[in-house]
């Protein structure tokens, strides 16, 4: 008889772990416990009358092999689509300006390209960065925002770096670790780059031509459905794991569902839920005090997406979207002109638009009800386009504690958690955006690696 596997959380990380375990342990009996009414987590495709629309993640970095390899394994390569040539704008000073060329996640490699974003005085201050010696400890990690502010000035953080990272992490760069968020930059500094300008320039010149991002024609539901099928797992929705306990050589999971409570017995366990839920489960399972403290110390952010389809009479900007400077007095953080960004979606009867709200410690906006958020999104879109949109269809999706703040030293923290798990809870793995980083490729890579470790331990 093969191992009994329980996967707590049916998002991308949980489903990928289930899929990989089904390949590593052919006789495994895998059960996925998902608290919501559907698998997929932050991959959430809904149906507008005109076709599919994403309410969660909309794309992945196509150059990273984790996602592209999985898509190929699942037979979905033919559904891959890439963005068109339009780039994003920055909303700063009440106007939209093109994202400056030659930037790396907002870090400038040529301060001269920042004329639309910085004042002459701010540019002059930023230009001095290249000539100021940089005190960098190879292998170290620091606050990205603090370092950039110290070297370039706060304006570069507020109008370039934070807008670029806000959609991914929903957190200001001051709370993010440079090495985890921009590993290539840290590696360039490790090699001796004399300044951030030089390090960014080194990486910008190494960029490979071609599209960076990719998505699936038909939506991320194609990937979710394929993972469910290929894993052969039993998917239990409306099933919340409330406790995890050692039970002899295995584990017992207490589950609360819409039809009562029950226990799941497992030999191997994958915990694939956000850290506010993962930390108490792991602590209750074996008194993982240090690990639990480390996990509980990872702050999380909630967000909301308002998806709109509007009449094509609206003059949508010729941009892929707008990123909002953090010193701009508007409630939203980003807007994607989906029809402009993705040519395969520009055949719909209306324009598709996504408006994103929510940064860490910003609870006021997210406290608004769906109708208010939708009105805010419509008003923001109308303000950018110069006229009020005629809304054909809309949906609101909230994401609670979905984005982890990956702070300095995050790798060391997670390594400590893994070491304590291996010692005290053998056969239990933690995966998700709070481990190896947020984003589709990182979640896939983390989940597959964890599944391989579990399989190797079981087979030994």
| Surface-to-core class of residue 218, CB atoms within 10 Å of its CB (0-12 exposed, 13-18 middle, 19+ buried) | middle
80 contact partners, CB below 8 Å, separation of at least 6: 62, 68, 71, 214, 215, 216, 217
- The pLDDT confidence band at residue 437, using thresholds 50, 70 and 90, is confident
Residue pair 245/252 in contact by the 8 Å Cβ criterion: yes
Residues in the chain: 460
Quick: pLDDT tens for 22-43. 999 999 999 999 999 999 999 9
Provide the H-helix boundaries in 136-233: 144-152, 154-156, 162-169, 178-181, 183-190, 196-205, 221-231
Q: Rounded to whole angstroms, how far apart are CA atoms 125 and 356?
A: 32
pLDDT at 386: 95
Determine how many CB atoms are found less than 10 A away from the CB of residue 43. Answer: 25
Mean of the pLDDT values across residues 6-10?
A: 98
Predicted confidence (pLDDT) at residue 364 exceeds the cutoff of 80: no
143 contact partners, CB below 8 Å, separation of at least 6: 173, 174, 175, 176, 177, 178, 407, 408
Backbone angles phi, psi at 323, to 5 degrees: -105, 140
Quick: pLDDT tens for 380-409. 999 999 999 999 999 999 998 888 888 998
HSE-CB at 400 with a 13 A cutoff on CA atoms is 6
Q: Rounded to whole angstroms, how far apart are CA atoms 291 and 174?
A: 24
Q: Rounded to whole angstroms, how far apart are CA atoms 25 and 160?
A: 46
* Domains in the chain: ranges and CATH: 4-40+222-298+406-459 (3.50.50.60), 100-202 (1.10.3110.10), 301-404 (3.90.660.20)
> Quick one: DSSP state of residue 79?
G
177 contact partners, CB below 8 Å, separation of at least 6: 141, 142, 143, 144, 406, 407, 408, 409, 410
Q: Rounded to whole angstroms, how far apart are CA atoms 270 and 268?
A: 7
Q: Rounded to whole angstroms, how far apart are CA atoms 121 and 152?
A: 12
- The pLDDT confidence band at residue 360, using thresholds 50, 70 and 90, is confident
Quick: pLDDT tens for 252-296. 999 999 889 999 999 999 999 998 899 999 988 886 777 777 788
pLDDT at 287: 67
Residue pair 60/270 in contact by the 8 Å Cβ criterion: no
Q: Which residues of 121-144 are buried (b: 16+ CB within 10 A; e: fewer)?
A: ebbebbbebbeeebebeeeebbbb
Q: Rounded to whole angstroms, how far apart are CA atoms 295 and 413?
A: 8
Provide the H-helix boundaries in 49-109: 65-73
Residue pair 323/334 in contact by the 8 Å Cβ criterion: yes
pLDDT at 207: 82
- Considering only CA atoms, which of 273, 286, 268 is closest in space to residue 454? 268
Q: Rounded to whole angstroms, how far apart are CA atoms 24 and 17?
A: 10
Look-up of token digits 């990872």 = 298
- Considering only CA atoms, which of 451, 411, 416, 446 is closest in space to residue 431? 446
Q: Rounded to whole angstroms, how far apart are CA atoms 371 and 382?
A: 16
Backbone angles phi, psi at 387, to 5 degrees: -155, 155
Residue pair 22/268 in contact by the 8 Å Cβ criterion: no
- The pLDDT confidence band at residue 81, using thresholds 50, 70 and 90, is very high
Q: Rounded to whole angstroms, how far apart are CA atoms 378 and 388?
A: 7
Q: Rounded to whole angstroms, how far apart are CA atoms 415 and 113?
A: 40
Q: Rounded to whole angstroms, how far apart are CA atoms 119 and 153?
A: 12
Residue pair 179/411 in contact by the 8 Å Cβ criterion: yes
**Kind of pairing between the strands at 239-247 and 250-257:** antiparallel
More confident residue, 353 or 285: 353
pLDDT at 310: 98
DSSP lists the bridge partners of residue 429 as 270
- Predicted TM-score (pTM) of the model is 0.94
- Considering only CA atoms, which of 434, 303, 405 is closest in space to residue 363? 303
Q: Rounded to whole angstroms, how far apart are CA atoms 31 and 84?
A: 40
Q: Rounded to whole angstroms, how far apart are CA atoms 89 and 385?
A: 13
């Amino acid at each position: 008889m093969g191992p009994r596997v329980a996967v707590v959380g049916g998002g991308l990380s949980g489903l990928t772990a289930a899929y990989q375990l089904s390949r590593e342990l052919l006789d495994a009996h895998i059960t996925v416990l998902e608290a919501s009414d559907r698998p997929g987590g932050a991959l959430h495709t809904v149906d507008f009358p005109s076709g599919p629309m994403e309410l969660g993640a909309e794309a992945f970095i196509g150059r990273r092999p984790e996602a592209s390899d999985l898509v190929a394994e699942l037979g979905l390569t033919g559904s891959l689509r890439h963005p068109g040539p339009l780039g994003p704008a920055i909303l700063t000073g009440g106007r939209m300006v093109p994202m400056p060329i030659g930037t790396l996640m907002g870090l400038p490699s040529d301060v001269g390209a920042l004329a639309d974003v910085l004042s002459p005085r701010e540019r002059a201050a930023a230009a001095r960065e290249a000539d100021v010696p940089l005190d960098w400890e190879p292998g170290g990690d620091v606050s990205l925002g603090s370092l950039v502010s110290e070297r370039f000035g706060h304006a570069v953080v507020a109008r370039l770096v934070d807008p670029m990272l806000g959609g991914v992490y929903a957190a200001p760069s001051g709370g993010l670790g440079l090495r985890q968020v921009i590993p290539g930059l840290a590696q360039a500094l490790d090699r001796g780059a004399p300044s951030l300008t030089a390090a960014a320039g080194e990486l910008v010149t190494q960029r490979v031509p071609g599209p960076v991002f990719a998505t699936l024609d038909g939506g991320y539901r194609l990937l979710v459905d394929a993972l469910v099928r290929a894993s052969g797992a039993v998917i239990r929705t409306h099933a919340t794991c409330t406790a995890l306990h050692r039970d002899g050589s295995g584990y017992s999971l207490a589950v609360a569902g819409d039809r009562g409570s029950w226990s799941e017995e497992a030999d191997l366990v994958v915990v694939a839920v956000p850290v506010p839920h993962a930390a108490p489960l792991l602590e209750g399972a074996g008194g993982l005090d240090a690990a639990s403290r480390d996990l509980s110390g990872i702050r999380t952010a909630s967000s909301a997406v308002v998806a709109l389809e509007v009449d094509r009479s609206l003059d949508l900007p010729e941009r892929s979207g707008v990123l909002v400077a953090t010193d701009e007095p508007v409630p939203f953080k980003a807007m994607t002109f989906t029809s402009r960004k993705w040519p395969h979606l520009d055949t719909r009867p209306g324009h598709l638009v996504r408006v994103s709200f929510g940064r860490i410690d910003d609870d006021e906006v997210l406290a608004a009800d769906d109708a208010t958020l939708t009105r805010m999104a419509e008003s923001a879109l109308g303000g950018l386009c110069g006229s009020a949109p005629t809304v054909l269809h809309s949906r609101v999706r909230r994401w609670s504690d979905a984005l982890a703040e990956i702070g300095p030293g995050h790798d060391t923290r997670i390594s400590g958690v893994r070491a304590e798990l291996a010692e005290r809870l053998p056969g239990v793995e933690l995966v998700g955006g709070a481990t190896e980083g947020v984003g589709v490729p990182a979640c896939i890579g983390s989940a597959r690696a964890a599944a391989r470790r579990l399989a190797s331990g079981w087979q030994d």
